[in-house]
């Protein structure tokens, strides 16, 4: 069934859906560029919050999980314990340099795995000075996003929420060559090198160097510009625009 209205939040997202070669079979008649309603509350909370957190949230890997036949729940497989993914993120959150940066800049360090890995936080062996958040037990991550002074992720779309708040983003993509071959994500309109909201690193030391630059206010000026220019609506009125679209649907007969 074709949607009557599909909401988008950025011009590139809008074009990726409505372009003739997109494969979505949708046009500007069904797609609206009006912003995401949840960004209204994020903007309100983020404007007044103290930026005192380094937030670390990588996404998951399909090839390290399976669906349990009894519980119908996604669980890690036997390869998870010896995977590069676990080893790399365990090393990162236990890094002495990360601890030093948090202490030097008076930032709390918070590690929040993707919900599909949330039950396995202990496998990452977080040190005492890193707080953890189980995404399955948290009603909303917006309070954390609002307080984030810098985000470290790999490919997660949460970077868009942080970029909306103009918080620096650091991409740590140690498995760039294999990620798309073994995961459900496909290469789309968003290119991390061309469109990303922060620098892309494949090594831990480089990612930590990028984090330090961000905390010092010395990130490359192209990244704040990208974050600023990506989102046309930072006015707190996304909900109103969506309400108007829904209201219009109520009085418009289906074609």
Sorted by where each begins, the domain ranges of the chain are 6-35+236-250, 41-230
Question: 0.85 cut: is pTM over it?
Answer: yes
Of 35-39, 68-72, 128-132, the range with the lowest mean pLDDT is 68-72
The owner of tokens 């918080």 is 167
- In tens, the pLDDT along 222-236 reads 999 999 999 999 999
C-alpha span between 122 and 104 (Å, rounded): 26
**Inter-CA distances, 160 with 13, 64, 153, 195, Å:** 12, 25, 11, 11
Across residues 3-24, what is the average pLDDT? Answer: 89
C-alpha span between 15 and 226 (Å, rounded): 17
Across residues 19-42, what is the average pLDDT? Answer: 91
Q: Is the pLDDT of residue 68 over 90?
A: no
pLDDT for 252: 61
Surface-to-core class of residue 252, CB atoms within 10 Å of its CB (0-12 exposed, 13-18 middle, 19+ buried): exposed
pLDDT for 177: 83
Across residues 246-254, what is the average pLDDT? Answer: 73
C-alpha span between 232 and 248 (Å, rounded): 22
The CATH architecture to which 41-230 belongs is 3-Layer(aba) Sandwich (3.40)
pLDDT for 249: 83
- pLDDT grade for 132, boundaries at 50, 70 and 90: very high
pLDDT for 20: 84
Tokens representing 8 are 């988008």
- In tens, the pLDDT along 178-202 reads 887 755 666 678 999 999 999 999 9
C-alpha span between 158 and 198 (Å, rounded): 13
Q: Is the pLDDT of residue 22 over 90?
A: no
Q: Of the candidates 133, 127, 141, 180, which has an alpha carbon nearest to the alpha carbon of residue 41?
A: 141
Please name the residue ranges forming H helices in the chain.
11-18, 38-48, 84-93, 96-104, 142-147, 158-164, 176-179, 192-195, 204-215, 222-230, 238-250
- In tens, the pLDDT along 133-182 reads 999 999 899 999 999 999 999 999 999 999 999 999 999 999 988 887 75
Q: Is the pLDDT of residue 73 over 90?
A: no
**Above pLDDT 70, what percent of the chain?**
93
- In tens, the pLDDT along 75-110 reads 999 999 999 999 999 999 999 999 999 999 999 999
On average, the pLDDT of the chain sits at 92
Contact 32, 9 (CB under 8 A): no
**Inter-CA distances, 223 with 91, 171, 184, Å:** 26, 12, 27
């Amino acid at each position: 069934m074709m949607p009557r209205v599909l909401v988008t939040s950025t011009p590139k997202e809008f074009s990726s859906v409505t372009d003739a070669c997109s494969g979505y079979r949708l046009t500007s008649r069904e797609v609206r560029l009006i912003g995401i309603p949840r960004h209204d509350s994020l903007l309100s909370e983020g404007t007044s919050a103290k930026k005192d957190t380094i937030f670390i949230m990588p996404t998951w890997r399909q090839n390290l999980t399976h669906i349990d036949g009894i519980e119908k729940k996604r669980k890690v497989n036997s390869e998870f314990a010896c995977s590069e993914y676990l080893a790399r993120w365990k090393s990162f959150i236990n890094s002495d340099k990360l601890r030093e940066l948090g202490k030097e800049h008076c930032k709390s360090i918070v590690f929040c795995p993707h919900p599909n890995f949330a039950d396995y936080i202990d496998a990452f062996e977080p040190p005492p000075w890193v707080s953890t958040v189980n995404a399955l037990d948290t009603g909303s991550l917006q309070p954390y996003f609002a307080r984030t002074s810098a985000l470290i992720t790999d490919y997660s779309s949460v970077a868009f929420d942080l970029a909306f708040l103009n918080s620096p983003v650091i991409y740590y993509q140690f498995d760039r060559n294999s990620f798309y071959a073994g995961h459900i994500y496909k290469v789309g309109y968003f290119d991390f090198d061309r469109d990303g909201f922060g620098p892309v690193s494949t090594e831990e030391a480089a990612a930590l160097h990028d984090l330090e630059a961000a905390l010092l206010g010395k990130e490359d000026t192209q990244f704040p510009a990208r974050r600023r220019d990506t989102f046309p609506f930072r006015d707190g009125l996304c909900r109103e625009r969506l309400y108007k679209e829904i209201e219009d649907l109520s009085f418009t007969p289906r074609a």
